[in-house]
Amino acid sequence: MADKLIRGRQTPFDLGFEHGAEAEEDPTPLEFCSRVPEYQVGFIVGRAYSESIKRANHATAAATAGALGSRFGVDLNELLKAMRLSDEHERVIRQAYDDARARP
């Protein structure tokens, strides 16, 4: 009998989510852009989820996702679709995305 749990095949989104949730810091833009778009979105969602848990605040997830999405050039609509948050939190994502774009 197998002692290990055998995991199913992970998608790039799943892998990105896992890495984002475990990340202590953001990857460099060069590291990030070398990944496929599905991984990138997964990483941002995982990182946003992790930050919201640490701070016990759903708005943190939205703000983190918006800022990271903008910083790394991830499509805003793809990010919104993946996050699946309330309209109020979508506004936070959009605002954080726009704010991050406005910074030099």
Is the separation of the CB atoms in 36 and 67 below 8 Å? no
pLDDT tens digits, residue range 3-31? 444 567 889 999 999 999 999 999 999 99
For residue 98, tell me if it sits in a domain: yes
For residue 59, tell me if it sits in a domain: yes
For 25, the enclosing helix (H) or strand (E) is none
pLDDT value of residue 20? 96
pLDDT at 104: 66
92 within some domain = yes
C-alpha neighbours within 13 Å on the C-beta side of residue 74:
32
User: pLDDT tens-digit profile of 40-75?
Assistant: 999 999 999 999 999 999 899 999 999 999 999 999
Interatomic CA distance for residues 90 and 103, integer angstroms:
20
Domain presence at residue 2: no
pLDDT tens digits, one per residue of 65-102: 999 999 999 999 999 999 998 999 999 999 999 999 88
The total domain count for the chain is 1
Domain region containing 66:
12-19+28-102
- In this structure, is residue 39 part of a structural domain? yes
Q: Is the residue at 74 inside a domain?
A: yes
Helix, strand, coil percentages, rounded to 5, for the chain: 70, 0, 30
Tell me the residue type at 1.
Answer: M
| Whole-number pLDDT of residue 1 | 36
